[in-house]
Amino acid sequence: MTYQIQDTESLSAVELIAERGMEGLPDALAALINEAMRIERERHLRAGSYERNQVRRGYANGYKPKTMKTRMGALPLQVPQVREGGFYPQSLDKGVRSERALKLALAQMYVEGVSTRKVARITEELCGFEVSSSEVSRCAALLDTELTAWRERPLGAYPYVMLDARYEKIRHGGQVIDAAVLVALGVNEDDKRVLTAEQEARIRQTICDKRPKQLKREFALWSRAAVKELIERDCQVTLHLRSVGKYLTRWGFTPQKPIKRVYEQSPEAVRAWLDESSPSIAERAKTEGAEIHWGDETALVNTDVRGRSFAPKGKTPAVMAVGGTRQKLSMLASVTNQGKARWMIIDGAFNHEKLIEFFEARVADTEHKVFLILDNLGVHHCKPVKAWLAEHHAQMEVFYLPRYSPELNLEERLNADLKPVIRSKVPVRSKAKLRSATEQHMAVIGSEPEWVKAYFRDPRVK
């Protein structure tokens, strides 16, 4: 007897079956798509199989086998052909795009029983037109056979079985009653992981060495869904998302905010900097008694308010943003591994004159020669800067980081400390207040050498 489920908790149970229990039933989905494609061909030809009439506009030409990989598994499809060509079933693409909706519909029919109304709705959505009652009945019979076979399939031996039950509201005999829904969880005799040790090692290495895009996958990051798809493609094993998460945890992988790198960055140049240039600069500084400074410039604005603010649920808080009084300053700063932080706030355009002024301040600030490490901003390479450095070679040398590699610059950690503080304060309306807020926080950083030394413990630049 078929019962009708009414409440939303039961619908979530249907979604659970669709996501975790229907993985072993790709044949039902394939049967539905195959039948929808066959109906489409009949409509295209305006005649059924072996039917003769006055409006027929072509002839069927068998089927072309096609295996399509989906999250549900490999679907064995039979794509109908026509002798004259020019026919392609749209239900093939629609079935793949609507895979989740189809799985939910199949799960609901598994729970409630196959009904012609549901089959008609699904088939019409796939085909894009209304289907006849006989075509719906044929689809329903196919699905009923597939679902019955899957429901009655042997499950094998399970030495450990855990049983539980929950009560749901169902409609039965015109009344809403409580009915027990039994849940069984079994552990099979193999007591083995689905992936072999070799497969696990291969998947781990791929995640470490490649980005999804390099493998022509439609994912920007290695999410659980991306790893699930990688396992299906490379190992022909279908896992649930929760199982994929357990594998990732077992491997010691954690979800992390990635470092942003631009495509123009050269990995070879970065490796050469870390392995050769940086150690060479350190060795020279030790030999010549020089002091190494890491320098960079950053922009400070009064219109950038970010972060989260607590408020009652459903009532989004508002902040007073600065409108037409946008103010901007620039700051040049440098840090050393002895814990020194030096800075210069600039009101106006940043150019070679401001940079040379910063150079002169750093030379006057120390008794030793200064080795200054900068990025490859254009002003750092201009002729006046080069001329000043050539003239003051005994007092300062400048070294340049690889292009498009801000993560290598230790002064960027200072910028990352400063900007959230400026953003979290009440937006100021004048440059004087913006400068005051910046100076106040920089004074705190400058008075805490251990704070600055912590920047140099970053493993990415060691």
Encoded tokens for 426: 């009440």
pTM over 0.85: no
Q: What's the fold here for domain 267-306+322-461?
A: Nucleotidyltransferase; domain 5 (3.30.420)
Strand pairing class (341-346; 60-70): unpaired
**pLDDT for res 104:** 55
Helix ranges, 152-277 (H): 197-209, 224-235, 241-250, 267-272
Specify whether the CB–CB gap between 91 and 80 falls below 8 A: no
| Highest mean predicted confidence (pLDDT) among 262-276, 287-301, 426-440 | 287-301
Q: Which residues have C-beta within 8 Å of that of residue 460, sequence separation ≥ 6?
A: 259, 407, 408
pLDDT one-digit tens code per residue, 109-158: 555 555 666 666 666 666 555 666 676 677 667 667 766 776 677 767 77
Question: Are the C-beta atoms of 388 and 359 separated by less than 8 Å?
Answer: yes
Task: Name the residue ranges covered by the structural domains of the chain.
Answer: 4-151, 157-189, 197-250, 267-306+322-461
Q: Residue 100 above 60 pLDDT?
A: no
Averaged pLDDT, 272-297: 93
Is residue 356 over pLDDT 90?
yes
Average of per-residue pLDDT across 335-356: 92
Burial class (CB in 10 A: 0-12, 13-18, 19+), 333: buried
- CA gap 415, 269 in Å, rounded: 24
DSSP 277: I
- Taking residues 35-58, report their average pLDDT: 83
Predicted confidence band at 26 (pLDDT cuts at 50, 70, 90)?
low
> Using one digit for the tens of pLDDT, what is the confidence trace for 185-240?
666 665 555 677 788 888 999 998 888 888 877 788 888 988 998 988 888 788 88
Confidence of residue 379 (pLDDT cuts 50, 70, 90): very high
Distance CA 360, CA 362 (A): 5
Note the pLDDT of residue 11.
41
